[in-house]
Structure 1
Amino acid sequence: MASETRPIPLRIANKTAYVWDVDDIATIRSKHHICGILTGTLPHLSQQNVFLGVPLVLMPEEAALLVDIGAAVFVDDPLAYKQPTVAQLQKWSLEQEESMKTQLAYTENKTAKEGSNPGRAMSEEAVRKRKEREERKKAQAAAKAIADGAEGSYGESSPPNPADSEGANAPTSDGPKNSSLPYTIVIPASSSSLEWYDPTECTYSTIESARVAGVWDYPSTLLERARCGVFKDLWKQGYFMGGGIKFGGEYLVYPGDPLRYHSHFAASVIESPIASLQPMEIIAHGRLGTATKKAHLLCGWDDEKQEVSYLSIEWAGFC
């Protein structure tokens, strides 16, 4: 796990905060109640909208909170990359090739020990279809022999060998002949191990210093300050927050880790105690929240007092 005393680097690109290290992702979730959103693709998954991988993208409020409490620092990611020398590139290329060869050798040895059977890597549906094709070929060969007057015998020709239908994919003691079978090669996601990656001169421990450098400018408006204030106040009470745009609010508020709990509130941020709110908005929030088994939370931010007031809405259904 990442060291508890080391601030987590939030790599900033285009004013968006990313976390690339899986240990850092686990730390900010378990220790700091920050979830973020995984956006990276994973190999060999047919659907890339259910299970995703690194990097983790943080909401601006999440990134600002982590830096504000001293748990993270901003890193200007594009500026951290220096121009690599030819020797550095050659060394990196050799290391990558060596890593890939090691992983391929391990995978091939493992496949050989398991019988070197490509069919094991297939899905049940693919295996079933393949068997059906082989049976159809056998039936066609037998029917042809009968039509030729062989009366069910194969005459001088030998019966079809099921192994022949395997073709070039037949396994051998050296592994499958088909070299196009896919293997997963692990490439490190973090760039911190690169010799030409040096974030020393472009790391910022406060929001103000990052703002001066032009790396980060959130929050800069009253609404953004209100969102940060509401987010931090709910976070201090032990809640987890996620995006709530699908439920008509800024956040979904969970009593614990979203992997274990359903959200209790959909929260909307009101940037001022005197901000106007239409009656139809209140009705819509109440009905939508109740329809999705949540209470809607109106969070009013007082920028002068730096305080948050809360009002929850539930649809009663009176006629």
Structure 2
Amino acid sequence: MSEIIQLVYSNENIFIWNADDWLKLRKEYRIIGELLGCLPKTPRQDILLGLPLLLSPEEAKLLIEKGFAKLIQYPCIKKKPSETLKKLFHEFREKLYLDQEVCLRKQREKQISGMMDKIVEGKRRKILGLQTTKKKMRKPLDKETLEKMKSVKIDTKLLFEEEMSKLPKLDRNDALIQTHTAHPWVTKEDAEEVDWNYPETEEENLRYQVFKDLWEKNYYITDGEKFGGDFLVYPADPIMFHAQFIVHCQKRNEDLSVNDIISVCRVGCNVRKTQVFASFSPDGETINYQSFQWADSNAL
């Protein structure tokens, strides 16, 4: 059985902080959510975003109801860090710094090894008083000079250590800092389940039942606010397909004016999507759908 995903409840929002959980939600459960965080390597752009993943109430409720996830919170995060936690943090930071020093040295060793022939040649030129600029080194030498260079003995091991000694010590201010997307020292014992009441209102119940019904029909669903709807519905992963439908959750007995219908249909026509109104059936047990399109719409 697949491990239950932990949804983190914080400030009345529900997040996913773990990258493996994000991938699992998308690939196995068709849950998209909304990425909010900046990417560590490109923090000054907002085109591509990273963790945390914000889940809609409908997405979270579905995951909990289906038994795929549970809602938890970490009270310890709101408390002042203990001395033990501070010690763990400083030990981790020191290890990260030392690991970077090792990586930097290994990279420099690899770099010098790949350039050793040129370094040896440059050393021989210096001993013979020849110029060592790139332009001069590209020019061919006469036979006599070549023989002299070959006769100069170079201790490559000593030269290698000499080049390595030029590598400056890594300044702590220049060391990379890891940005955690999940708390590295929180344990399962630190978590407590949240008693979450959703849906509470008639509107919330309609939205959830529509979302659930579409999900059970194997669609991918995202928020539809950018096109004036409640949901956007995709035939497969949104990274590969455009949405087919803009879904509006409508109370069964709520009046909808002709102007409202015309306005939403124009939006759907312009973005080549079908406008769908979803409401409860007369018995309140199932969801009914009614779609609208312009008669001459190219979206057909």
TM-score interval for Structure 1 and Structure 2 normalised by the shorter chain: 0.7 to 0.9
Report the equivalent of 1:188. Answer: 180
Q: Tell whether 2:199 aligns with 1:219.
A: yes
CA distances 1:282-312 after superposition (whole Å, capped 9, x unpaired): 1111110010011111111349523111011
Once the two structures are TM-superposed, the CA of residue 219 in structure 1 deviates from its matched residue by 1.3
Of 27, 42, 45 in structure 1, the residue corresponding to residue 42 of structure 2 is 45
The one-letter amino acid of 2:206's match is A
Report the equivalent of 2:94. Answer: 97
The one-letter amino acid of 1:105's match is V
Q: How many residues were matched structurally?
A: 251
Once the two structures are TM-superposed, the CA of residue 89 in structure 1 deviates from its matched residue by 2.2
Of 263, 266, 270 in structure 1, the residue corresponding to residue 243 of structure 2 is 263
Alpha-carbon spacing, 1:181–1:103, altered in 2? closer, same or farther (3 Å): same
Once the two structures are TM-superposed, the CA of residue 196 in structure 1 deviates from its matched residue by 9.8
Cα distance in 2, alignment partners of residues 73 and 265 from structure 1: 30
CA distances 1:210-260 after superposition (whole Å, capped 9, x unpaired): 1xxxxx333111111100000000000010011111111011100000111
The one-letter amino acid of 1:273's match is R
- Consecutive unaligned residues in structure 1, runs of 5 or more: 116-160, 163-171, 205-209, 211-215
Once the two structures are TM-superposed, the CA of residue 276 in structure 1 deviates from its matched residue by 1.3
Deviation larger for 303-312 or 289-298: 303-312
Cα distance in 1, alignment partners of residues 73 and 186 from structure 2: 16
- Consecutive unaligned residues in structure 2, runs of 5 or more: 113-132, 135-162
Once the two structures are TM-superposed, the CA of residue 54 in structure 1 deviates from its matched residue by 1.0
Report the equivalent of 1:285. Answer: 264
3-state DSSP class of the match of 1:249? coil
Q: Tell whether 2:297 aligns with 1:305.
A: no
Paired residues of 1:233 and 1:308 also in contact (CA < 8 A): yes
Alpha-carbon spacing, 1:113–1:47, altered in 2? closer, same or farther (3 Å): same
RMSD, matched Cα: 3.1
CA distances 1:179-206 after superposition (whole Å, capped 9, x unpaired): 699664334321163369711xx214xx
3-state DSSP class of the match of 2:93? helix
Cα distance in 2, alignment partners of residues 62 and 218 from structure 1: 11
Between the aligned residues of both structures, percent identity stands at 29
Larger radius of gyration: 2
Alpha-carbon spacing, 1:7–1:291, altered in 2? closer, same or farther (3 Å): same
Cα distance in 2, alignment partners of residues 229 and 189 from structure 1: 32
Once the two structures are TM-superposed, the CA of residue 278 in structure 1 deviates from its matched residue by 1.4
Once the two structures are TM-superposed, the CA of residue 109 in structure 1 deviates from its matched residue by 3.5
Q: Tell whether 2:9 aligns with 1:12.
A: yes
The one-letter amino acid of 2:268's match is G
Alpha-carbon spacing, 1:267–1:107, altered in 2? closer, same or farther (3 Å): farther
Q: What's the TM-score, normalizing by structure 2?
A: 0.73
Cα distance in 2, alignment partners of residues 22 and 41 from structure 1: 14
Paired residues of 1:296 and 1:312 also in contact (CA < 8 A): yes
